[in-house]
Structure 1
Amino acid sequence: MSVEVKVPPVGESITEVFIGEWLKSEGQAVKVDENLVELESDKATFEVPSPSAGVIESILKQPGDSANVGEVIATINENAEAPSDDQPKPDSSPEPAKTADQPTSSDSEASQDSGNGEPRVMPAAQRLLAENQVSASSVQATGPGGRILKEDVQRYLSEPKRSTPPTPTHSMTSPNEPFDPSRQKETVRMTPMRRSIAERLVESQRTAALLTTFNDVDMSKVMKMRNEYKDTFQKKYGMKLGFMSFFVKAAVDALNAIPQLNAQIEGDQIIYHNYCDIGVAIGGGKGLVVPVLRNAERMSFADIEQSINNFAERAKSNKIELKELQGGTFTISNGGVYGSLLSTPIINPPQSGVLGMHRIEQRPVAVDGQVVIRPMMYLALTYDHRIVDGREAVTFLKRIKDTIEEPARMLLEV
């Protein structure tokens, strides 16, 4: 009996996903709940488990293909058994070779048959070869029956002097001009996440009245407090004390004082939130993601640092769940970790504000009539002018500045 593997529901507004990497290939045995394939939505990457035990009978969608929610992407034969390792391999079979119009069992196990002189290539390896435009004949196969595995391709790419430039699909010179290998262009399909980021940023600029206000903050006291307690903090909680927790705490205080930055427009109504769900922008394996710290107003410094560290680790392997990326009321983005001195961040709609942090650098400033050198950071607040007036935006940013420059206010809540 064949069991269908369908694209599961992944979110209220998501109807289409893209096929990522198949973790199993046709002809392989699978167990119940064993992961079969990675799917990519416009917000996250997730794995689909096997609904039944058996052998993968057919794979209907290849990496890069799109599929709708509920669509069948593979079938599993519950009654079949996978061939054991001690059975004769197709290459060593005494049966005469079949002609090209006679399908063999190996056609369902590899994306490329050896009948054309190329070694058999497993689907995951085939995708990696295509992405790097490497010929399968260049890779040494170590899989059963001379198959090329994903690990074989990775090993080939990691070897020295393997950075062969991709073969250009289109020349930037006219047909009558000689080919110039230094002038190439490459066409790559946008990932669902990158497409979503592009659409939302354009939507934000098209639908909101965006304005950015700036200020700078003296980081001396926060840095002193952090250096004084970082060892004790790490010993107690098992993690480093970063700057982001200070800014999350400062943002919560400022949002309580200026609730317009924690609100959103819906039609002709303004929705105010009595909680602070703060999104923290994190660079992930496939692009920028903004997981949300739920009820940040209830979180301690340790809770914030632990959550951010957890998000960062899972973002590297695209393991953040879709629900963790939805529903933020305000966002903080730290471009300083990449060396940014100043920027104008863009709001994540339907939110009304985003705080941009930047790198800390030693700059001369005037203090009590004297020029001194202090660790300074520029702050940027982009806000939706439809709901937030300039006075409120400046007051909000000034309150964050005051809180960071006098961090004891976070404890006293003044």
Structure 2
Amino acid sequence: MAQEVKVPTLGESVTEATIGEWLKQPGDAVAQDEPIASLETDKVAVEVPSPVAGVLQEHSVAVGDTVEVGAVIALVEAGAAPAAKGDEAGKASEAKDDSKAKGAGDAQAKESASAPSSSATLSSDANQTLSPAVRRAVLEHGLDPSTISGTGKDGRLTKEDVLEAAKNKKSGGTVEDAAPQQAKTADTGTSGGERREERVKMTRMRQTIAKRLKSAQDNAALLTTFNDCDMSAVIEAREKYKDLFAKKHDIKLGFMGFFAKASCLALKDIPAANAYIEGDEIVYHDYVDISVAVSAPGGLVVPVIRDADQKGFAKIEKDIADFGKRAKDGTLTMQDMQGGTFTISNGGVFGSLMSTPIINPPQSAVLGLHRIEDRAVVVDGEIVIRPMMYIALSYDHRLIDGREAVTALKIIKEAIEDPTRMLIDL
């Protein structure tokens, strides 16, 4: 008997989604609760599981279609489906990798002699299992997806996997990371001198990001104040206690924990930076929920560290590490990103020296972190070298005055330069 596969409840106020990709094709065996489709919502990707074990009979909608909660998207014929199909595929993939590792030299010679074009690099099966973003990245870099190990859920390829393979290829990596030379030539069009364009529909998440950022510019009076801070004390503390911290808490001691706690001090003294405007009222919070900007395959997401002001360094670092892993795997939920009273965005991990971060509506302030670099500074009348970081606070000037914004950023700077302040609440 055929069972209907319906769009599940997606979260508060979310009523529709877009079919991002089909993880299973008609005729494929599926186990109960095995994901068969990925939906793109305004904030996250949501996987749709099969309600029963059986065989996927048909797709009722196509990739790119918009579907509402409760809509039927597929039919599964219930029956004794071989639930181990995924396991067998995984074993086959492992065997394939082992075979490649043993005969890398032969494979390299063989590939260079019979490399396919970039359009042929993606077989019809590969096209069915790769997300649009991954497919674009594979074509752009002229890679063979079957030679790249996936780190996503159930071993699926992520965009980061493709970019890492492309990076290894440029630095002279193994045959598994390298693209066929003919594919590269066909993709760039160097042989014929032709120039190409590609039109790709924006994902629902990217459209939402664009709308929210533009809305922030249109509706808020944005302004940014800057400062710089000497990272010597934090670096020294991390170096001194990193081993003990990791041994006790099973997590690395990072910089974000220090900035989260320093921000809590600032928000306690400057409550307007932890508030937002709703109509003609200001909504203040007696708690601090910090949204942390995290890079995900589909775009930037901002999961929330709840009650950051009540948590210690270890719990904050564990929350951040968990968010980073789940963002890469695509398993963040709507609940993870709802709320948030203040945001921290770390562009330094990508090498940014200075930026003007944009607020995350309806919040009124965002702290921007940047890369640490040794600079010459004057200390007690002498020129010395110190590890310095520029920090920025963008804020809604309708709610936060310049004096308050500058003061909040100064509190953060002082707490980072003298972490003892965070212990004695100064």
Alignment partners' CA distance in 1, 2:320 and 2:63:
31
1:253 partnered with 2:257: no
Worse-matched range after superposition: 363-372 or 373-382: 363-372
Q: CA distance change for structure 1 residues 240 and 121 in 2, over 3 Å: closer, same or farther? A: closer
Aligned to 2:343: 331
User: Equivalents in 1 of 2:130, 2:380: separation in Å?
Assistant: 66
Change (3 A) 1:42 1:306: same
If the length of structure 1 is used for normalisation, what is the TM-score? 0.79
Distance 1:126-1:291 versus aligned 2 partners, 3 A rule: closer
Alpha-carbon separation, structure 1, partners of 2:348 and 2:124: 47
1:384-399 aligned at under 5 Å gives the runs 384-399=396-411
RMSD over aligned Cα atoms? 2.9
- Shift of the 121–333 alpha-carbon distance from structure 1 to 2, 3 Å rule, reads closer
Residue number among 184, 191, 196 corresponding to 1:163 in the alignment: 184
Instruction: Give the AA of the match of 2:237.
Output: M
- One-letter amino acid of the counterpart of residue 14, structure 1: V
User: Which amino acid in structure 1 is aligned with residue 390 of structure 2?
Assistant: Y
Provide the rounded CA distance (Å) in 2 between the counterparts of 1:165 and 1:189.
24
Q: TM-score, normalised by structure 2?
A: 0.77
Q: Deviations over 1:112-143 (max 9, x none)?
A: xxxxxxx9747625867974569xxx999xxx
Q: Distance in 2 between matches of 1:45 and 1:23?
A: 13
CA distance in 2, matches of 1:164, 1:323: 45
CA contact (8 A) 1:8 1:70 kept: yes
Instruction: Kindly indicate whether the alpha-carbon contact (under 8 Å) linking 1:334 and 1:358 is maintained by their aligned counterparts in 2.
Output: yes
In the alignment, the residues of structure 1 paired with residue 389 and residue 317 of structure 2 have an alpha-carbon distance, to the nearest angstrom, of 20
Shift of 1:227: 0.9
Q: Tell me how far apart the structure 2 counterparts of residues 122 and 368 of structure 1 sit (CA, whole Å).
A: 63
The amino acid that maps onto 1:388 is: I
Counterpart residue number, 1:41? 41
- Partners in 2 of 1:298 and 1:307 — Cα distance? 13
How big is each residue's C-alpha offset from its partner over 1:125-172, in whole Å with a ceiling of 9 and x where there is no partner? 5867974569xxx999xxxxxxxxx99xx999964323355599xxxx
Residue 18 of structure 1 contacts residue 192 of structure 1 at CA under 8 Å; is this kept in 2?
yes
Are residues 1:366 and 2:386 paired?
no
Q: For residues 78 and 357 of structure 1, do their structure 2 counterparts lie closer, same or farther at Cα, with a shift above 3 Å needed?
A: same
Matches within 5 A, 1:2-401: 2-78=2-78, 121=125, 124-125=128-129, 131=136, 159-161=179-181, 162-163=183-184, 165-166=186-187, 180-181=193-194, 183-401=195-413
Structure whose residues are more often helix by fraction: 2
Counterpart code for 2:206: R
Q: Would you say the 8 A contact 1:255–1:396 is kept in 2?
A: yes
Q: What one-letter code is carried by the residue in structure 2 that aligns with 1:396? A: A
In the alignment, the residues of structure 2 paired with residue 228 and residue 127 of structure 1 have an alpha-carbon distance, to the nearest angstrom, of 44
Conserved 8 A contact 1:19-1:39: yes
Deviations 1:92-113 (A, max 9, x none): xxxxxxxxxxxxxxxxxxxxxx
- Return the index of the structure with the highest Cα Rg: 1
- Relative to 1, partners in 2 of residues 1:233 and 1:156: Cα closer, same or farther, differing over 3 Å? closer
Partners in 1 of 2:79 and 2:349 — Cα distance? 54
How far apart, CA to CA, are the structure 2 residues paired with 1:342 and 1:12? 36
- Per the alignment, residue 90 of structure 1 pairs with none
Alignment coverage as a number of residue pairs: 356
**Does the CA-based 8 Å contact 1:262-1:351 persist in structure 2?**
yes
Given that 2:21 and 2:129 are in contact with CA atoms closer than 8 Å, whether structure 1 keeps it comes out as: no
Percent identical across equivalent pairs?
A: 53
AA aligned opposite 2:318 = Q
Alpha-carbon distance in 2 for matches of 1:302, 1:218: 23
- Listed one character per residue, the Cα deviations across residues 261-319 of structure 1 (whole Å, up to 9, x for unaligned) are 00011111111011100011111122111110000011111101111111111111211
The answer to whether the 8 A contact 2:291-2:302 is kept is yes
Read off the aligned partner of 2:408 and give its amino acid letter: F
Residues 16 and 69 in structure 1, CA contact (< 8 A), matched pair in contact too: yes
Change (3 A) 1:248 1:157: closer
Give, in angstroms, the shift of residue 404 of structure 1.
0.7
Q: Given residue 128 of structure 2, which amino acid in structure 1 is its aligned partner?
A: A
Amino acid at match of 2:58: S
Which amino acid in the other structure matches residue 357 of structure 1? Answer: L
